[in-house]
Amino acid sequence: GRSQLFQDILFAGRLHIGNKDYKTDVTVDFYDVTYGFKIHHQSQNPSVMVSNGELSFGTSSYSIANLIDMRKHQASMELHLDKYRDIHIKVVGPQNPAEIKAMLDFKWDANRDPTQKFLFTIDGSKSRLLNFEVKSVIEYPGHTIVGTVSLHHKGPDYTGVIKLEWSASSAISISSYLVWDPHKTGTVTFSSTVLTPFDNWKATNFNYGLWLLENSVRSNGSLSWGQDGTAMADMVYNTLTSDAQVGFSITALLNSTVREVSPLRLQICYSQSLQHIDALIDIESSLIHRVRVESSGRIVRDQSFSNYSGHIKFKTPFHNLTDGELSAAFKMDSNNSFSGNSIIALNDRNITSSFQGSAKALNESKLMLIINTPFQKYQKVAGKFAFSISKGHLIAELKSSAFSIGLKTIYIFKSMRDFDLQLSAKTGVNFVSSFLLVGTLNNETVDFRGGWNSVLVGLTACSHYNGW
């Protein structure tokens, strides 16, 4: 007899293997339930492949369909999960090198609500190098984000736009324009504008320019943002080149509405020739914060004399050194006679000096010096120096209202009956503030003296005899 514990199992299957497809179909009936399994793969040509698969039991069915098309650069897959949901995925790539196109479409509830999806598309074209337009879209439930990128290039001109938009009133865009022609016209300019929906950053603008001219270079940049935020920088560099003179100048400016950034102005100038040198440095951040230094030098020559002069003038914001001036001049003629003067002025305090002398040789020279100062004890200081081998004397003196120091010697010795010897000195020391030694003898004069401070002893005599 037949057991009641078992029922019949019906099995049916097919298998087909061809040159361009593969197919299998299996069904099993067990306990009044039919189970099925199907696979079908087709490859009509090497570029297109289609695959289908299904798993079923009773009234439930789960299937997958897959398509790959290499010619169209696309692929798709559909998943059927019985009565629960259908999932569709599709991917598309660019068709040719000149095309910018791609897509990703992902629907996770295609049978009941096709709007439940994530879609990404990118579509554009490229005509030549640095010339293209691309648009990209991202969609998901309740939101759409659109992005565009474009770049156009013609000669030295470049135009670019980037935009990201997620609603009709919410978008960020960046537009830029560039001129790149440094070799032909010497021009490089760039401008860019950023627009946003944010309150404090509605519009931001940036501009920059560089101009390369024959004897000058200029660079300028500006930035603006928000309601009234601005910043600007400018620099100009000029050169001067000629047969007689060379030089350069730099001017720079910086302005900003940012409180922490002070306005700044910078100027540097320099010029030089065979007869002069001039220089200037000026840095200013406000009317009371300024550093300025000017300097100059001159050389004047001819066959009979040479003149040299120099001058430095400065101004600073420092309390102890608000302004000052230094100058000096020197002149020498063809006979080796010279003269000169100098001025040192610091905060309305002046120190001046002047001198003159001659220097035919080191052993035949003299110098007269006068110095004026703002100090009470040294309002006027006078100096004298003379040295002569032929006259046999050496003099070195320096005196003012507060002190007097010096040394004087005379040495003339012809014979034991004809000589003139002198030595005197002033030291400024109380113990020996001065001393004197004199020895003179000739046909008319006898002078032998010695002195120590205020004490002086000696013998002096003088005779004249012309006849009876």
Dist CA 187 CA 433 (whole Å)? 78
Cα 434 → chain centroid: 65
Residue 418 belongs to a domain: yes
Is residue 397 helix, strand or coil?
A: strand
Nearest one of 102, 101, 111, 105 to 81, comparing CA atoms: 111
**Tens digit of each residue's pLDDT, the chain (468 residues):** 455 556 778 888 888 888 888 899 999 888 888 899 999 998 878 889 999 999 998 888 999 999 999 888 899 999 998 888 889 999 998 877 777 889 999 998 887 888 889 999 998 877 777 888 899 999 988 889 999 999 999 989 999 999 999 887 889 999 999 999 998 999 999 999 999 988 888 899 999 999 999 899 999 999 999 888 899 999 999 998 888 889 999 999 999 988 877 789 999 999 999 899 999 999 998 777 889 999 999 999 888 889 999 999 999 888 888 889 999 999 999 888 999 999 999 887 899 999 999 987 778 889 999 999 888 888 889 999 988 888 888 888 888 877 888 888 988 888 888 888 888 888 877 777 888 888 888 888 888 888 888 888 888 888 766 665
The dihedral of CA 272, 276, 281, 287: what is its sign? negative
In sequence order, the 6+-apart residues with CB closer than 8 A to the CB of 402 are 377, 378
CB 34 within 8 A of CB 58: yes
Choose among 86, 145, 142: nearest CA to 121.
145
* Calpha distance 59→352 (Å, rounded): 118
d(CA 111, CA 115): 10
| Residue 233 CA: distances (Å) to CA of 174, 207, 208, 299 | 22, 10, 9, 39
Q: Are 454 and 460 in contact (CB under 8 A)?
A: no
- Domain contains 144: no
What pLDDT, on a 0 to 100 scale, did the predictor assign at position 21? 87
- The predicted pLDDT at position 319 comes to 81
What total of structural domains would you count in the chain?
Answer: 1
> Is 28 a domain residue?
no
pLDDT at 400: 84
Cα(17)–Cα(24) distance, rounded to whole angstroms? 8
How far apart CA 449 and CA 445 sit, in angstroms, is 13
CA distances from residue 245 to 239, 268, 276, 351 in whole angstroms, order as listed: 11, 17, 9, 34
Q: Which tokens is 128 given? A: 């030549």
Check: CB of residue 313 under 8 Å from CB of residue 324: yes
Residue closest to 165 by CA, chosen among 125, 196, 134, 205: 196
* 440 occurs within a structural domain: yes
Residue 438 structural domain: 402-467
End-to-end CA distance of the chain: 200
- Amino acid sitting at position 354: S
Does some domain include residue 431?
Answer: yes
- Other C-beta atoms closer than 10 Å to the C-beta of 110 total 20
Instruction: Give the number of other Cβ atoms within 10 Å of residue 39's Cβ.
Output: 16
pLDDT of residue 10: 87
**C-alpha dihedral, 351 to 352 to 357 to 361, nearest 10°:** 40
Instruction: Confirm whether 263 is domain-assigned.
Output: no
- The answer to whether residue 436 is domain-embedded is yes
Alpha carbons 345 and 335: distance in angstroms, whole number: 33
Which DSSP string corresponds to 94-158? -SSTTEEEEEEEEESSTTT-TT-EEEEEEEEEEEETTEEEEEEEEEETTEEEEEEEEEEEETTEE
Residue 25 lies in a domain: no
Return the pLDDT at 402: 78
**Among residues 269, 349, 350, 344, which one has the least CA distance to residue 310?**
344
- Per-residue pLDDT, 18: 84
Rounded to whole angstroms, how far apart are CA atoms 124 and 250? 48
